[in-house]
Amino acid sequence: MRFAGRQVLSIADFTRDEIVHVLTVASQVEQRGRGALFSGKLMATLFFEPSTRTRLSFEAAMLHQGGQVMGFSDAASTSTKKGESLADTIRMVEQYVDVIVMRHPRDGAARLAAEVSRVPVINGGDGANQHPSQTFLDLYTIAKLFPALLTGDRQLTVAFAGDLKYGRTVHSLVSALCHFKVKILLTAPAGLELPQQYLDECAAAGLPVEIASGLPEAIAASDVLYMTRLQEERFPDPVEFDHIKASYRVNAAMLRSAKPELRILHPLPRINEIATDVDFTPHAHYFPQAGNGIPVRQALVGLVLGVL
């Protein structure tokens, strides 16, 4: 298994064994705590789109291990504003650093960057396409909660709710779950259903996929409920958006029908889809999930830098 120098562009580029190796290394790094793994190493964080967790947790992952970080979180302050191409920007940055983390609004931008970069590029999210480091941390979180994900002792039911059409974290996670023994439940507003290509991937992997009648069924039937944000800009009619928003909102009262072990995940940011009263139930797990970003991103960075 070779990771040094590798590009992290899509979860589809990783085999099951490689995914499990990343999760194992993340667990070792988490147990070891802070150190100097990345001493003398420099990361560039190039964020052409807003981010809180991805950028800051990559930066914290680096700084907690003695590495250094440079970059930008507002492309308007860079020469992109003057018309410099993405390829030329990468051709410059790759000469300055050891690893690049990039988020970009265009599908495929990370792959383009990787084609012109000598150093590893980690995709921090490209358009509606992929967000692989989020997927590794989602899998790490599920495996910590439910070791059966890796042992295959029983079939977990993972439900996805919300915008399944444009949610890149959903696309990446569904693809990754095809390597494991899970059943998938889906519930999405009309027009925002999971694209056919991901249903085809599940079918090819032999994963059972069912459409839930709505959030109540998904809550009652699942071990993991993966909520996503509904994006208002996708709805031409604000009245329709308000109606759908109300039907894709979980609150504490709705969780009375849940299994005791149900855990709710969300890549965050949440807007309206999880009421704050859920935060005080044992089912809420989205903040620890975000915390898992540190060891998982340390594992990815360490592996591609060849220091783990």
Cα separation of 296 and 308, whole Å? Answer: 12
Residue 238 burial by CB count (10 A; 0-12/13-18/19+): exposed, middle or buried?
Answer: exposed
The two tokens of residue 129 are 């396409």
Q: Are 299 and 29 in contact (CB under 8 A)?
A: yes
Contacts of 88 (CB under 8 A, 6+ apart): none
- Considering only the stretches 158-166, 180-188, 255-263, 267-275, report the one whose residues sit in contact with ligand CP under the rule CB under 6 A: 267-275
Residue 91 burial by CB count (10 A; 0-12/13-18/19+): exposed, middle or buried?
Answer: middle
Q: From the list 54, 130, 172, 292, which residue makes contact with ligand CP (rule: CB under 6 A)?
A: 54
Neighbouring-strand partners of residue 47: 103
Q: From the list 162, 167, 267, 295, which residue makes contact with ligand CP (rule: CB under 6 A)?
A: 267
Q: Which of 164, 194, 162 is nearest to 271 (CA)?
A: 162
- The footprint of ligand CP on this chain (CB under 6 A) covers a number of residues equal to 9
Task: Report in angstroms how near the CB of residue 16 gets to ligand CP at its nearest.
Answer: 24
Contact call for residue 157 and ligand CP (CB under 6 A): no
Residue 220's identity, in one-letter code, is A
Residue 153's identity, in one-letter code, is D
Q: Which is nearer to ligand CP, 123 or 134 (CB)?
A: 134
Q: Which is nearer to ligand CP, 19 or 101 (CB)?
A: 101
Task: Report in angstroms how near the CB of residue 47 gets to ligand CP at its nearest.
Answer: 8
Q: Which is nearer to ligand CP, 51 or 65 (CB)?
A: 51
Q: Which is nearer to ligand CP, 71 or 267 (CB)?
A: 267
Cα separation of 273 and 298, whole Å? Answer: 30
Q: From the list 24, 30, 53, 193, which residue makes contact with ligand CP (rule: CB under 6 A)?
A: 53
DSSP code for 79: G
Contact call for residue 287 and ligand CP (CB under 6 A): no
Q: From the list 7, 45, 51, 117, which residue makes contact with ligand CP (rule: CB under 6 A)?
A: 51
Contact call for residue 133 and ligand CP (CB under 6 A): no
Contact call for residue 134 and ligand CP (CB under 6 A): yes
Contact call for residue 268 and ligand CP (CB under 6 A): yes
Q: Are 37 and 65 in contact (CB under 8 A)?
A: yes
Active centre residues (catalytic): 53-54, 82, 103, 131
Q: Which residues bind ligand CP (CB under 6 A)?
A: 51-54, 125, 134, 267-269
